[in-house]
């Protein structure tokens, strides 16, 4: 059970190696960076070189040149490990629900931020010429039950009303787009698509440095304390004095800021890539290279990489004989959805942690004057982290907190956090039960 849980200890226990993932093996090379070996000062320091931190840096530069401090490599966290589905929605709450919880004005602002988040990703890729970083082919969510199809109808109505380019797909239309009759219909968000996660984060790092920002890697921030009028970040061999700080550590948050780690539940999920599929199979399965993830609580998802590998994955309750179990489990699942596949041959398996909140909503915090963070992607962090990077950049520039497009909330730790984190994955049993119930 030990390595189900991300904590300070396994962070220090050589987490710095990048996983042997298809993304690491096929990404353009990363710009050269070094560890911090001296004392420097800057207007804005950003801790964490994933989509959040680097998007914030991209939205600040060139007029503010931030310093980015990363414990490991660029994209070491979830940003280099994910499935790369670019999705302009939250995982649970749809617009009416967002308004019910956040209120009319803030709710509409949040909705607009999420609606535009996928396009923001692809616009950044185009603007900064990020090599092989993304394809805006659209994201499809098939319904695994008639009940979920009803939910999707409501989802499409609510999002379309707010300007998201979305279409409902009946069973036949869905089958035409994805090459499977396993679902009951679905919908497409046309602004969505897929990224090469590592190419995107490395592309961001390159763009940020080109704009004058500095990135220091293999330099964990060990403390963050008040200093004169600003903040002091200490690393092993250096320090950064900054007027303002963005903590962009998300699921990989350690104990740098008191209590922050305990406000989210880091959940381990597995990703897997097949060997490249034949042209014939690729014409039959997801021929338009859409990104796909369905409505199950125990999510079923798939997309192609640039070489025609199908990239999918799953969550597990226990880490025992994980890779063999995953090969069988996810292979069977893909064959059920796409019988054209035949025998599934896996080439890569890796894992990462995503940050969950108890209500599946993102959190935006002002931790102290001049220290900002957000957490809680709930599995939708590619587009959302990129958008939240821009939100954090605006706050750092001095935007009044009341004008942030999300409510700024106080830190709220998850009760019995250690226990909840240890057992979070057992929740999967309940989700699987719900998925079955709904089907009947």
Ligand X SMILES: Cc1cc2nc3c(=O)[nH]c(=O)nc-3n(C[C@H](O)[C@H](O)[C@H](O)COP(=O)(O)OP(=O)(O)OC[C@H]3O[C@@H](n4cnc5c(N)ncnc54)[C@H](O)[C@@H]3O)c2cc1C
The binding site for ligand X (CB under 6 A) comprises 47-53, 69-72, 76-79, 81-85, 87, 220-221, 248-252, 254, 256, 269, 271, 352-354, 377, 379-383, 385
- CB of residue 187 vs ligand X: minimum separation in angstroms? 17
- CB of residue 104 vs ligand X: minimum separation in angstroms? 26
Closer CB to ligand X, residue 51 or residue 102? 51
Distance CA(418)–CA(428), nearest Å, equals 18
Q: Is the dihedral of CA 57, 58, 61, 62 positive or negative?
A: positive
Contacts 24+ apart (CB under 8 A), 277-284: 277/308, 277/309, 277/310, 277/341, 279/308, 281/340, 281/341, 282/308, 284/179, 284/338, 284/340
Chain centroid to CA 252: 12
- CB of residue 423 vs ligand X: minimum separation in angstroms? 19
Closer CB to ligand X, residue 181 or residue 253? 253
- CB of residue 421 vs ligand X: minimum separation in angstroms? 15
Closer CB to ligand X, residue 36 or residue 152? 36
Chain centroid to CA 130: 18
Number of residue whose CB is nearest ligand X: 381
Closer CB to ligand X, residue 277 or residue 387? 387
- CB of residue 253 vs ligand X: minimum separation in angstroms? 6
Phi, psi of 345 (to 5 degrees): -110, 125
CB 118 within 8 A of CB 189: yes
- CB of residue 170 vs ligand X: minimum separation in angstroms? 25
Query: How many other β-carbons are positioned within 10 Å of the β-carbon of residue 409?
Result: 12
Chain centroid to CA 223: 26
Closer CB to ligand X, residue 41 or residue 173? 41
Instruction: Assess whether the previous peptide bond of 321 is cis (omega < 30° from 0).
Output: no
Closer CB to ligand X, residue 82 or residue 180? 82
Q: Is 379 helix (H, G, I), strand (E, B) or coil?
A: coil
Closer CB to ligand X, residue 37 or residue 170? 37
Those residues whose C-beta lies under 8 Å from the C-beta of residue 339, and which sit 6 or more positions away, are none
- CB of residue 311 vs ligand X: minimum separation in angstroms? 9
Closer CB to ligand X, residue 252 or residue 372? 252
Phi, psi of 222 (to 5 degrees): -95, -25
DSSP string, 265-287: EEEEEEEEEEPPPPHHHHHHSST
- CB of residue 205 vs ligand X: minimum separation in angstroms? 11
């Amino acid at each position: 059970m030990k390595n189900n849980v991300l904590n300070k200890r396994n962070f220090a226990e050589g987490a710095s190696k990048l996983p042997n993932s298809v993304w690491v093996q096929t990404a353009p090379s990363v710009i050269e960076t070094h560890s911090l070996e001296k004392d420097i000062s800057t207007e804005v320091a950003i801790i964490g070189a994933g989509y959040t931190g680097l998007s914030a840096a991209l939205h600040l530069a060139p007029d503010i040149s931030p310093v980015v401090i990363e414990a490991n490599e660029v994209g070491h966290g979830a940003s280099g490990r994910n499935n790369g589905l670019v999705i302009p929605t939250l995982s649970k709450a749809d617009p009416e629900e967002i308004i019910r919880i956040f209120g009319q004005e803030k709710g509409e602002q949040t909705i607009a931020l999420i609606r535009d988040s996928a396009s923001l990703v692809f616009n950044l890729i185009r603007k900064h010429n990020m090599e092989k970083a993304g394809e805006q082919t659209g994201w499809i969510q098939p319904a695994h039950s008639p009940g979920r199809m009803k939910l999707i109808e409501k989802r499409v109505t609510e999002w379309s009303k707010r300007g998201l380019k979305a279409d409902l797909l009946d069973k036949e239309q869905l089958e035409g787009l994805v090459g499977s009759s396993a679902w009951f219909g679905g919908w497409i968000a046309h602004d969505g698509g897929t990224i090469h996660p590592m190419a995107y984060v490395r592309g961001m790092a390159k763009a940020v440095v080109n704009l004058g920002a500095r990135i220091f890697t293999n330099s964990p921030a060990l403390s963050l304390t008040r200093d004169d009028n600003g903040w002091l970040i200490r690393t092993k061999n250096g320090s950064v004095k900054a007027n303002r700080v963005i903590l962009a550590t998300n699921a990989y948050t350690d104990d740098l800021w008191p209590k922050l780690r305990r406000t989210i539940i880091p959940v381990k999920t597995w990703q897997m890539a097949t060997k490249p599929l034949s042209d014939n199979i690729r014409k039959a399965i997801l021929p338009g290279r859409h990104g796909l993830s369905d409505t199950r609580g125990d999510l079923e998802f798939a997309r192609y990489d640039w070489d025609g590998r199908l990239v999918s994955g799953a969550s597990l309750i226990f880490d025992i004989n994980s890779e063999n179990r995953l090969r069988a489990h996810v292979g069977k699942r893909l064959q059920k959805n796409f019988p054209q596949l035949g025998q599934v041959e896996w080439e890569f398996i890796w894992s990462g942690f995503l940050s969950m909140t108890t209500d599946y909503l993102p959190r935006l915090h002002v931790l102290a004057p001049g220290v900002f963070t957000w957490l809680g992607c709930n599995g939708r962090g590619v587009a959302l982290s990129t958008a939240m990077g821009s939100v954090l950049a605006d706050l750092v520039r001095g935007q009044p907190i009341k004008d942030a497009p999300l409510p700024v909330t106080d830190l709220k730790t998850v009760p019995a956090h250690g226990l909840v984190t240890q057992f979070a994955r057992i929740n999967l049993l309940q989700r699987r039960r719900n998925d079955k119930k709904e089907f009947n």
